[in-house]
Structure 1
Amino acid sequence: MREFIGGCWRLAFLDDMVCRHELDGVMVKGGPVVFPPKKESIPYRFELFLEMYAEDTPEEWEKIYRQTWKRAKALRGK
């Protein structure tokens, strides 16, 4: 359980970073995508991921985390 909670924090941080980078400069309905401050966004994502992935198996969770890590790692090259 402790690993899952820590993983959700790491996933929240990675997901926030990836989304901010991927959506930077994107326009929706004539305006730019705007994110809340990280101090609000990351805890929100953490709670969301706790809820979303609570029923997943460790293998399913690992796959989700690995995919997000790959997206974050790919940003380093940009």
Structure 2
Amino acid sequence: MQLRDWRYPVVFDLSTGETRFDNYQGYWGNQQHLNDFLQAYAVEKTKLEARRKGYSVTERSLEDGRIQLSVNVGD
């Protein structure tokens, strides 16, 4: 996967879940771009799985950039 402003792509091994990349300590790509992508992926995957089970999900952005999810299992 090619991230914004990265010289080389990030590679995900779907069988192991391993992530491989070389951003040359920030010279070839900003680590924050990868962190943002991974956070967004985790949020969407969590929401998808929760909804598949019939749960509702609320999302809230925190001041420090993190995202808080609340999964409501119902009554």
Q: What is the TM-score when the length of structure 1 is the normalising length?
A: 0.34
* Higher-helix-fraction structure: 1
Q: Which of the pair has more CA radius of gyration?
A: 2
Larger RCO (CA under 8 A, 6+ residues apart): 1
